[in-house]
Amino acid sequence: MERQFLVDDFQLSESWRLFKIMGEFVEGVDTLHDIGPAVTFFGSARVKPDDPIYSKAEEIASLFVKENFAVITGGGGGVMEAANKGALKAGGASIGLNIVLPLEQKLNRYTSINVQFNYFFIRKVMFIKYASAYIIMPGGFGTLDELFEAVTLIQTKRIKPLPVILVGSDYWAGLINWIKSRLLDEKRISAENFDIFQIIDEPEEIVKAIKKVVIL
């Protein structure tokens, strides 16, 4: 009998979790469905305001707002904060999709629109659904996760192709060389897969590259 109670409690908690998941989807869609063309920024939460990467993310975000794009980030610090700051100061929609984590992260103060998520996979859906392009700044495991998920979804045609721009040729060079020497040379991927992403360093060139393929 005790075991049956434990099973029933587990089933009840799982059922309520489904409602929480549905609720997060609904809140995300309701909040973001009217934002228009948007660019999503990914990058390290550990970047400090005096780091050139921070300044570059802020500048790129500001340029996109001036071209009528909204800016989406994960809502945290570092690159995310910089991009939100650039967007807000330029007078545009500065969106933070924050995730609840045990040790980090806190929503930065430069968002004009924000949604808080408990589930990474729902947050990822929102990043993809509402992005017209991805800007991948230098970052760690989370940034790599978002980069490879976007590339995989485009490669497998699960989403429509969208520009994926890696910013920082020096930072990404080692990874790209490894992909070429291991994945490509050993025929784990095709040469055309490299067309999915570009490496661009100059902020103005990044904006130009995306404007060529995104209809406003």
Identify each DSSP E strand in the chain by its residue range: 38-42, 70-73, 94-99, 113-117, 133-136, 164-166, 197-199
- What's phi and psi for 181, nearest 5 deg? -75, -25
Find the mean pLDDT for residues 170-183: 97
Pick from 41, 47, 28: nearest CA to 70: 41
What tens digit of pLDDT does each residue of 109-143 get? Answer: 999 999 999 999 999 999 999 999 999 999 999 99
pLDDT classification of 12: cutoffs 50, 70, 90: low
Tokens for 59, please give them: 């500048």
Judged against a pLDDT cut of 60, whether residue 34 lies above it is answered with yes
Say how far apart CA 4 and CA 44 lie, in whole Å.
46
Condensed to tens digits (0 to 9), the pLDDT of residues 60-75 reads 999 999 999 999 999 9
pLDDT at residue 111 in the model? 97
The number of CA neighbours under 13 Å toward the Cβ of 17 is 8
User: Could you give all domains of the chain from N- to C-terminal order, each with its CATH number?
Assistant: 33-211 (3.40.50.450)
Q: For 113-180, where are the E strands, in sequence order?
A: 113-117, 133-136, 164-166
Residue with tokens 């545009």: 92
Q: Residue 11: what pLDDT?
A: 58
Question: pTM of the prediction?
Answer: 0.90
Average pLDDT, whole number, for the chain? 92
Which pLDDT band, with edges at 50, 70 and 90, does 5 fall under? very low
Q: What's the rounded mean pLDDT across residues 8-35?
A: 83
